[in-house]
Chains A and B, each alone.
Chain A
């Protein structure tokens, strides 16, 4: 077992984990943060995307021990319970950016990372290129792209960047 200490959604967490525990397993099974999903488990689909030190990563391809000493943010960390949604979440709701919702947490964490790197004014081509590592199998990307475009603009006016 390995002892790890990290910050998850602003809260310090300490745990003893088997070194082979994936970060996504640790989040879901140890911390019960089940918003982060396991889709393909092969670093392709992006359902498991979380922020590690502020950057989007695939938590199915990161060991929990490798996050020791670092900061993790999951979909649950975007807005407090009962508080208004994060502008990117709100944009997905408003623009019907989800159908079954399985890919949504990863889509939103990726979308926020795109805004951090590329700014608040995103053209559709950029958004589609940047979504290379996130798959939606319900219906398509039209509304996801529209949501991210609107969410990016809304983030400029929000404190919840």
Chain B
């Protein structure tokens, strides 16, 4: 790991000022993405701005019809939160399946979303549920937030402060883990929202998380696994590597979507 200067702001405003003042500064919270890539020298930020001591940035609460999760809420906190468990159990279960217990004690929702790893779990939930990413500057809809591999709409001095999830009628997330890394080879989040149905896929797309509109159209008429029978997902644009071909991933998307639908419908 290369040398850097460490900053510990007490407020989001101070953190943002540090990002403006120090070019190429990076934000750190749990460090479970950034520290590994800094060790590999894939990232060498000259300044680290630690958000983990900013009070109130990890609050989980209901606001109106939305579940609001603070950026530094850790995966374990989301997984065990009564508020999350009662409002969007699929999200609690997703958080409880990230990494391993020790990783879940440190990794944060904001960190996962800011990094936008193509195999991360949270992006699928954010896109399928139609969540809003709130930053120190503005509100970003999920559709405009994710912009491809490790790429988001965030500006260099922009900090995620919270994520607002509108409550779905039904939802479920199912992932198929890579047997070695345990990351999602493919993960599918289905959400039946008051106005529509969304199916978001992580792990498979070469440009990161994406929606399967053909499934969504069919599911709008009937939210059941039978409704998507016979609809194939094209392998174009899907990852192909030693862990699975694009065709294999395309097939998995169909299988996991049906399983997710069954799981969502079973939670009556």
Contacts and interface: CB of A to CB of B under 8 A. Distances in A.
A151 interface: no
B103 A110 contact: no
A133 B3 contact: no
Contact of A56 (B4, B50, B105): B105
B102 A58 contact: yes
B182 to A, nearest CB: 7
Contact of A46 (B8, B102, B105): B102
What interface size band does chain B fall in? 20 to 34
Contacts of B4: 19-20
A25 to B, nearest CB: 10
Nearest to A52: B105
Contact of B52 (A20, A57, A66, A130): A66
B31 A66 contact: yes
B36 interface: yes
B99 interface: yes
B6 A57 contact: no
A62 interface: yes
Interface string A91-110: 00000000000000000001
Interface string B1-37: 1111110100000000000000000001001100110
Contacts of B50: 65-66
Most chain A CB inside 10 Å of its own CB: which residue of B2, B36, B100, B182: B100
Contact of A133 (B31, B76, B100): B100
B101 A56 contact: yes
A34 interface: no
A52 B2 CA distance: 25
A65 B182 contact: no
A68 B53 CA distance: 10
6 contacts: A46-B100, A58-B102, A58-B103, A61-B32, A62-B31, A68-B8
Interface string A45-60: 0100100100111100
B106 interface: yes
